[in-house]
Structure 1
Amino acid sequence: MLEVIDKGGPTATHITPLLFVHGAFHGAWCWDDHFLDYFADRGYRALALNLRGHGGSPSAVPINACGVFDYVQDVHTVAAELPVPPVVIGHSMGGFVVQKYLAVHDAPAGVLVASAPPTGIAPATVRVAWRHRRQSVRTRSFSRPLDFFAAPGVSRATFYHSATPEEIVTACTSRLGAESARVLYRDLLYRHLARPKRVTTPVLVLGAELDGFFTPREVAATARAYRTEPVMFPDMGHNMMLERGWESVADRIDQWLAATLS
């Protein structure tokens, strides 16, 4: 019963569908604003799911009881219903979910967009908490992470860069939803890290030079783990699919897919 936004359809040149996986606090909406129409217009079937407990996707347990393997299962549930295995594209936490998915499931290709590194998010968590330590101690950041990440100033500094128009930041911050503390503060910190050596799928690694979560050095390390080179975008923050200049990110994915799937 997962909620899925499904646009476009397979064409003679693009038989393989694209399945987009959102990051923490986000939902399928973050792909629907720009990317789904972009790829549908280019002849792809483009789908974005809401992971359980996000958007209109139900969860049988409170969201804090959901683990990263639950999210991996959600991706598999949607992928298994498609006529052919999809390319899986994940942002941030969703990129980590994609890494875990690719370690156990076949896919023609994978794309990591400002993704959490395979080694986990401990360094990023410490950086963000220290940078916003006043907000961190004032909110129930461990039991209700959204209280911290949606706090004034924190959302802009982590998801966007300083030149992003305020209307974009405000509109997107208003749509943030609850996220699993178990996923953020256990699974992605130390418990269930990714295993790149198990992934044989070709992977494209994209990063933003002004990312408030993951540094260019961490993006480069992620690319090395998947035996490739990173593609970095200047003047862009963490939410690469929503920032001004998102078209250049989509163009790069489109170009890479054309070469990889041919």
Structure 2
Amino acid sequence: MSRTVVFIHGLWIHSVAWQPWQELFAGKGYETHAPGWPGDKDTVAETRLHSEGAGVGVDEITDSYAKFIAGLDSPPIVVGHSFGGLIAQKLLDAGLATAAVAISPAPIKGIKILPLSLLRSSFPVLSRPGNRNKVVPLTEKQFAYGFGNALPPAESAELYERIAIPSPGRPLFEASSANFTKNAPTAVDTTRAGRGPLLLLAADEDHTVPAAVVAAAYRLYASSRARTDIIKYDDRGHSAAFDHGWRQLADDSLAWLDRQSL
């Protein structure tokens, strides 16, 4: 079984958010890594001041993780949140990972359901076409709606201060137009039988990637003989991987990995 894990963050979250997961997995004998996206700096404060991610899209992000993985001794397990969950699926599809856990993953091509909360969460970026080639921050109020809606206001504000960063707008534009784009960057071969196992985690109160979107992804994978599982969490939002309840998702991910024959 692979004992290396690469954690992949999503939009508006710095890789430092994975530190509790890394400590937990390391305690179970895993080697862990959490590289940032192209243009991210080493700290939240530096990234807020000097992010260089303008114009970076799904392909560039995927390629950066593929390059990182190429430097490892063997293909790792990948764990991703939001757009990081989409990247994790692409790496699994490409045969660069032995297994993947995708937490509230951004929609891959083929998902047609568009809940109102998803559109509202994307509005700060998609409302201005020029944001496609810019780095876009969220305000604390926007973060509270998209990530912290299932949290007490004080906890949402603390998370915003500790892990929120500006992010490139391009991935959202690519995801929103994927079903009308040939060779869309968000495309994944959901019929592939030779890939490793995939676990999808969905949060029932998630505004940014509603549970219905994750369930739609699960249905797309139904025609594949490869292992695909889904777990849904009641009363949890898009922050579930990083808020006070992160341990439940991490423990479930570890238990699922222990059951796989990798």
TM-score (norm 2): 0.80
State yes or no: 1:173 paired with 2:160. Answer: yes
State yes or no: 1:24 paired with 2:11. Answer: yes
Closer/same/farther in 2, CA of residues 124 and 41 from structure 1, 3 Å limit: farther
Q: Output the CA distance in 1 between the equivalents of 2:17 and 2:110.
A: 23
Residue by residue, what CA displacement relative to the aligned partner does 1:227-261 show, whole Å, maximum 9, x if unpaired?
A: 33420011211122212221111111010110114
Query: What is the identity percentage for the equivalent residue pairs of Structure 1 and Structure 2?
Result: 24
Closer/same/farther in 2, CA of residues 202 and 15 from structure 1, 3 Å limit: closer
Q: Residues 22-61 of structure 1: matches in 2 within 5 Å?
A: 22-32=9-19, 34-56=20-42
Q: Secondary structure at the match of 2:108?
A: coil
State yes or no: 1:154 paired with 2:142. Answer: yes
Q: Residues 225-244 of structure 1: matches in 2 within 5 Å?
A: 225-227=220-222, 228-244=228-244
Closer/same/farther in 2, CA of residues 160 and 215 from structure 1, 3 Å limit: same
Q: Which piece of structure 1 moves more, 210-219 or 99-108?
A: 99-108
Q: Secondary structure at the match of 1:153?
A: helix
Deviation at 1:144, TM superposition (A): 5.0
Q: Which piece of structure 1 moves more, 190-199 or 118-127?
A: 118-127
Q: Which piece of structure 1 moves more, 184-193 or 171-180?
A: 184-193
Q: Residue 204 of structure 1: which of 184, 196, 199 is its match?
A: 199
Q: Residues 88-127 of structure 1: matches in 2 within 5 Å?
A: 88-119=78-109, 127=117
| Amino acid corresponding to residue 185 of structure 2 in structure 1 | H
Q: Secondary structure at the match of 1:111?
A: strand
Closer/same/farther in 2, CA of residues 212 and 49 from structure 1, 3 Å limit: same
TM-score (norm 1): 0.80
Q: Extract unaligned runs of 5+ from structure 1.
A: 1-13
Contact 1:108 1:261 in 2 (8 A): no
Task: Name the counterpart of 1:86.
Answer: 76
Residue by residue, what CA displacement relative to the aligned partner does 1:189-214 show, whole Å, maximum 9, x if unpaired?
A: 42322222347221001111110112
Q: Secondary structure at the match of 1:250?
A: helix
Contact 2:40 2:52 in 1 (8 A): no
Contact 1:120 1:189 in 2 (8 A): no
Deviation at 1:133, TM superposition (A): 6.8
Closer/same/farther in 2, CA of residues 132 and 72 from structure 1, 3 Å limit: closer
Deviation at 1:223, TM superposition (A): 1.6
Deviation at 1:128, TM superposition (A): 4.3
Residue by residue, what CA displacement relative to the aligned partner does 1:8-62 show, whole Å, maximum 9, x if unpaired?
A: xxxxxx6520110000121211111x2111111111112111111113399xx95
Contact 2:6 2:78 in 1 (8 A): yes
Deviation at 1:131, TM superposition (A): 7.1
Q: Residues 131-150 of structure 1: matches in 2 within 5 Å?
A: 146-147=136-137, 150=138
Q: Output the CA distance in 2 between the equivalents of 1:193 and 1:37.
A: 30
Closer/same/farther in 2, CA of residues 15 and 105 from structure 1, 3 Å limit: closer
Q: Output the CA distance in 2 between the equivalents of 1:185 and 1:125.
A: 17
Deviation at 1:225, TM superposition (A): 2.3
Deviation at 1:218, TM superposition (A): 1.4
Q: Secondary structure at the match of 1:64?
A: coil
Closer/same/farther in 2, CA of residues 151 and 186 from structure 1, 3 Å limit: same
Task: Name the counterpart of 2:181.
Answer: none
Contact 2:57 2:170 in 1 (8 A): yes
> What is the aligned length?
243
Contact 2:3 2:30 in 1 (8 A): yes
CA RMSD of aligned residues (A): 3.2
State yes or no: 1:192 paired with 2:182. Answer: no
Q: Output the CA distance in 2 between the equivalents of 1:107 and 1:135.
A: 31
